[in-house]
Amino acid sequence: MTEPALVLEGTEDHPHARMVLGAALASGSPSHAYLFHGPPGTGKRTAARALAAELLSEREPDPEGARARVRAGTHPDLTWVRPTGAHVMRVSDVDEPVVAAASRTPFEAARRVFVLERADTMNDEVANRLLKTLEEPAAYVHLILLTDALGQMLETVVSRCQLVRFDPLPADRIAAILEGEGVESTRACACARLALGNLTRARYLASDDGNGLRADVERLVRDALAGEARDPREGESWAPLLTRADARRGAAEEDVAQAARDRLELEPRGRDRSALEREFDEAAKRDGRRARTEVLDLGLELAALTFRDLVCVEEGAEAAVLAIDRSPELAGMARGRDARRLREAVERCEDARLSLELNVTEELALTALSLRLSRLVGSAA
């Protein structure tokens, strides 16, 4: 098949997505419902915004201006939906913003575009509310659903969308992208390997904050190996990671608060704003909790990967090490260790991640992990 003339941003490294979307735009007959699926950090969100920009700039007198407003998130015919529930999409997330809005003609473009993130969090009630819009959309309506977990999507939704696949990026490709952005070669390679195909994560790990997180985790692992990874309420092993997670929560809450201030400035002065203020306050707390949990989850995953690297070093498989920029440190940490116990430490870190995902209290999950690691790999183990 001939390569499409237009390659959307976010699809450069995804042949399937590049061909499907490029051909659709070239034909002038894009689907009314797409489902972008693939692991986190593979470009789905970027591609969705790029597709929306092309759809909303078509036949416009100032197409580049329309694209710029889509990129800035200010185009009136683009609606971007993120679930407001802790783990689920609510009916209110789609009722007025999507279902009702889809019945109204565009404000200025020839089309209206609706992007729904984390579409796998829809339950039956939300899906049923959305089905008619998916099945019988107005000619000007285009929906783009995004998911990191296709297997968790409801079949009633999947069957009504055109699937567009985004595969994990190879580590060497991610490393090349990072180097092109100015990251030193060895560090770029390490971050690419640790990202497990997730370019967004690789960029974060290559940042100053990401490098700091890696240092926090390395300290935690060192303390565990020394038998000093104690109760997170008392010892210093967990303090840097928890402080970083708190900072991320604060930043996320401030982002929502700023958006709320901007939105409230547009509201009529005479209107009772209390309901809207409560809504934004809840959203800020929700986003803050999610951001904090994401930092802890990544920290625990990096701890698991560090123990995995120690197994590789102990067994003479240095070529399989992910954190190649920490090779000397890993060699010292692995010396004289029992590979079987290190493997079990990997499993215990993954268990702690699952506990947090299942809403086990943070204190209980981290305390249990500290005790288990101390017994497994502590100096006296």
Cα angle 239, 204, 18 (rounded to 5 degrees) comes to 150
pLDDT score of 3? 53
Domain of 101: which CATH number? 3.40.50.300
Q: Are residues 119 and 237 in the same domain?
A: no
Does the residue 335 lie in any domain? yes
Confidence of residue 86 (pLDDT cuts 50, 70, 90): low
Whether residue 356 is found in the same domain as residue 262: yes
Do 289 and 350 lie in a common domain? Answer: yes
- Among 58-67, 199-208, 269-278, the least confident range: 269-278
The verdict on 272 and 361 lying in the same domain is: yes
Instruction: Note the pLDDT tens digit of each residue in 206-255.
Output: 999 999 999 999 999 999 999 887 777 776 889 999 999 999 999 988 88
Q: Which residue has the higher pLDDT, 100 or 267?
A: 100
Residue 186 in any domain: the answer is no
Task: Map residue 221 onto helix, strand or coil.
Answer: helix
**pTM of the prediction?**
0.83
Tell me, yes or no, whether 152 and 272 share the same domain: no
> Domain boundary at 134, 165, 196, which?
165
pLDDT band for position 286 (cuts 50, 70, 90): confident
Residue 194 maps to a domain: no
Tell me: do 266 and 320 sit in the same domain: yes
Residue 255 is which amino acid? D
Whether 191 maps to a domain, the answer reads no
Q: Which of 57-66, 345-354, 368-377 is predicted most confidently?
A: 345-354
Whether residue 272 sits in one domain with residue 130: no
Whether 218 is in a domain gets the answer yes
Domain range spanning residue 277?
207-377
List the structure tokens of 267.
């509201």
Q: Is 111 found in the same domain as 26?
A: yes
Q: Is residue 329 part of a domain?
A: yes
| Residue 180 belongs to some domain of the structure | no
Contact 145, 161 (CB under 8 A): yes
| Token representation of residue 56 | 């909303």
pLDDT exceeds 70 at position 264: no
Amino acid at 254: E
Query: Residue 5: helix, strand or coil by DSSP?
Result: coil
**Residue 1 pLDDT > 90:** no
Domain count, the chain: 2
Token pair for 8: 């959307």
Q: Which of 99, 131, 165 is where one domain is finished? A: 165
Q: Which of 280, 272, 219 is nearest to 244 (CA)?
A: 219
pLDDT in the model for residue 268: 61
Q: How far apart are CA 112 and CA 199, in angstroms?
A: 29
Domain's final residue, options 165, 197, 218: 165
Residue 19 lies in a domain: yes
